[in-house]
Structure 1
Amino acid sequence: MPLIRRTVSRARTGRPGPLIVLTVLALTTSGLTAASGAAAPAAAERPVAAPTPVTRAALDPALTGGRGAEVRFLEQEAENAVTDGERIGPDRTAYTLPAEASGRSAVKLRRGEYVEFTLPKAANAITVRYSIPDAPGGGGIQAPLDVTVNGKSRRTMTLTSEYSWLYNQYPFTNDPGADLLHPDWWITECACVPSATSPAPRIEKPFRPMHFYDEQRMRLPHTYRAGDKVRLTVPAGSKADWTVIDLLDSELVAPPHVRTKAVNVLLHGADPTGRRDSAPALDRAIARAKRLDLPVYVPPGTYQVNRHIIVDDVTIEGAGNWWTVFKGKEVKLDRPAPDGSLHTGVGFYGRDAADGGSRNVHLSGFAIEGDVRERIDTDQVNGVGGAMSDSTVRGLHIRHTKVGLWFDGPMDNLHVSDTIVVDQIADAVNFHTGVTDSSVSNSFVRNTGDDGLAMWSEKQANARNSFHHNTVQSPVLANGIALYGGTDNTVAHNLVADPVREGSALHAGARFGAEPFAGKLEFRNNTTARAGTYELNWNIGLGAIWLYALDRDVDADIRVTGDHYLDSTYNAIMMVSEWSVKDKYAIPAAHFKDIRVDGTGTSVLSARVKGSATFENVDARNVGAVGVNNCGAFNFPPTGSEFSLTDRGGNDGGTAAGSWLAPWLLPNTITCEDRPPVVSPPAPSPWK
Structure 2
Amino acid sequence: MAVAAVTAATVGLSVALAAPALANRGPNGSAAPVVTRAALAPSLVAGRGADVDFVEQEAENATTNGTTIGPDRTAYTLPAEASGRKAVKLTSGQYVEFTLPSAANAITVRYSIPDAPDGGGITAPLNVTVNGGAKKVMTLTSQYAWLYNQYQFSNNPNADLLHPDWWITECACVPSATTPTPTITKPFRPMHFYDEQRLLLGKTYRAGDKVRLTVPAGSNTASTVIDLLDSELVGAPHVRLLAANVLAFGADPSGRRDSADALDKAIAFAKRSHLKVYIPPGTYQVNRHIIVDNVTIEGAGSWYTIIKGREVALSTPAPDGSVHTGVGFYGKDAAAGGSKDVHLSGFAIEGDVRERIDTDQVNGIGGAMSNSTIDGLHIRHTKVGMWFDGPMTNLRITNNVIVDQIADAINFHTGVTNSVVSNNFIRNTGDDGLAMWAEKTANTGNTFDHNTVQTPTLANGIAIYGGTDNTVSNNLVADPIREGSGIHVGSRFGAEAFTGHLWIKNNTTARAGTYELNWNIGLGAIWFYALEKNIDADIQVVGNNFLDSTYNAIMLVSDWPVKDLYSITNVHFKDTKVDGTGTSVVSARVKGSASFENVDARNVGAVGVNNCGSFNFPPTGSEFSLTDLGGNDGGGTTGPWLAPWELPNTITCDDRPPVVAPPAPSAW
What is the 5 A alignment of 1:450-529?
Answer: 450-529=431-510
Cα distance in structure 2, aligned partners of 1:460 and 1:109: 50
Q: Is the CA contact 1:326–1:366 (under 8 Å) kept in the aligned structure 2?
A: yes
Amino acid at match of 2:11: L
Cα distance in structure 1, aligned partners of 2:95 and 2:614: 54
Could you say which residue in structure 1 is the equivalent of 2:127?
146
Amino acid at match of 2:579: D
Cα distance in structure 2, aligned partners of 1:638 and 1:46: 67
Matched, 1:269 2:250: yes
Matched, 1:584 2:565: yes
Could you say which residue in structure 2 is the equivalent of 1:350?
331
Identity of aligned residues (%): 73
Report how many aligned residue pairs link the two structures: 666
What is the 5 A alignment of 1:281-680?
Answer: 281-655=262-636, 659-680=640-661
SS in 1 for 2:193: coil
Deviations 1:217-245 (A, max 9, x none): 00002100000000000001211100000
Cα distance in structure 2, aligned partners of 1:515 and 1:634: 27
Cα distance in structure 2, aligned partners of 1:671 and 1:187: 29
Amino acid at match of 2:348: A
Once the two structures are TM-superposed, the CA of residue 659 in structure 1 deviates from its matched residue by 2.9
Cα distance in structure 2, aligned partners of 1:138 and 1:476: 19
SS in 2 for 1:654: strand
Could you say which residue in structure 2 is the equivalent of 1:33?
15
Shift in CA distance, 58/20, structure 1 to aligned 2, threshold 3 Å: closer
Could you say which residue in structure 2 is the equivalent of 1:101?
82
Once the two structures are TM-superposed, the CA of residue 41 in structure 1 deviates from its matched residue by 7.0
Deviates more, 1:158-167 or 1:673-682: 673-682
Amino acid at match of 1:205: K
Once the two structures are TM-superposed, the CA of residue 522 in structure 1 deviates from its matched residue by 1.2
Deviates more, 1:176-185 or 1:73-82: 176-185
Q: Is the CA contact 1:442–1:471 (under 8 Å) kept in the aligned structure 2?
A: yes
Once the two structures are TM-superposed, the CA of residue 42 in structure 1 deviates from its matched residue by 12
Q: Is the CA contact 1:363–1:392 (under 8 Å) kept in the aligned structure 2?
A: yes
Q: Is the CA contact 1:37–1:684 (under 8 Å) kept in the aligned structure 2?
A: no
Cα distance in structure 2, aligned partners of 1:341 and 1:196: 31
Q: Is the CA contact 1:20–1:513 (under 8 Å) kept in the aligned structure 2?
A: no
Shift in CA distance, 235/221, structure 1 to aligned 2, threshold 3 Å: same
Cα distance in structure 2, aligned partners of 1:118 and 1:81: 8
Amino acid at match of 2:407: A
Q: Is the CA contact 1:469–1:492 (under 8 Å) kept in the aligned structure 2?
A: yes
Q: Which has the higher contact order (CA 8 A, sep 6+)?
A: 1
Q: Is the CA contact 1:185–1:198 (under 8 Å) kept in the aligned structure 2?
A: no
Cα RMSD of the aligned pairs, angstroms, is 1.6
Cα distance in structure 2, aligned partners of 1:590 and 1:636: 22
Once the two structures are TM-superposed, the CA of residue 521 in structure 1 deviates from its matched residue by 1.1
Q: Is the CA contact 2:23–2:62 (under 8 Å) kept in the aligned structure 1?
A: no
Shift in CA distance, 207/196, structure 1 to aligned 2, threshold 3 Å: closer
User: Structure 1 regions of 5+ residues with no counterpart?
Assistant: 1-11, 14-18
Deviations 1:222-278 (A, max 9, x none): 100000000000001211100000000000000000111211111111110101110
Q: Is the CA contact 1:309–1:347 (under 8 Å) kept in the aligned structure 2?
A: yes
Cα distance in structure 1, aligned partners of 2:331 and 2:638: 58
SS in 2 for 1:686: coil
SS in 1 for 2:269: helix
TM-score for both structures, normalised by structure 1: 0.95
Q: Is the CA contact 1:456–1:484 (under 8 Å) kept in the aligned structure 2?
A: yes
Cα distance in structure 2, aligned partners of 1:489 and 1:625: 33
SS in 2 for 1:651: coil
What is the 5 A alignment of 1:253-268?
Answer: 253-268=234-249
Cα distance in structure 2, aligned partners of 1:390 and 1:36: 47
Q: Is the CA contact 1:25–1:534 (under 8 Å) kept in the aligned structure 2?
A: no
Matched, 1:118 2:99: yes
Match among 203, 207, 210 for residue 222 of structure 1: 203
What is the 5 A alignment of 1:122-271?
Answer: 122-189=103-170, 193=172, 198=177, 201-271=182-252
Q: Is the CA contact 1:34–1:681 (under 8 Å) kept in the aligned structure 2?
A: no
SS in 2 for 1:433: strand
Deviations 1:56-109 (A, max 9, x none): 000000001110000000000000000000000000000000000000000000
User: Structure 2 regions of 5+ residues with no counterpart?
Assistant: none
Amino acid at match of 1:597: V
Cα distance in structure 2, aligned partners of 1:331 and 1:110: 36
Q: Is the CA contact 2:24–2:32 (under 8 Å) kept in the aligned structure 1?
A: no
Amino acid at match of 2:139: T
Q: Is the CA contact 2:23–2:33 (under 8 Å) kept in the aligned structure 1?
A: no
Cα distance in structure 2, aligned partners of 1:183 and 1:653: 47
Cα distance in structure 2, aligned partners of 1:656 and 1:456: 39
Deviations 1:144-187 (A, max 9, x none): 00000000021000000000000000000100011111111111
Once the two structures are TM-superposed, the CA of residue 24 in structure 1 deviates from its matched residue by 2.3
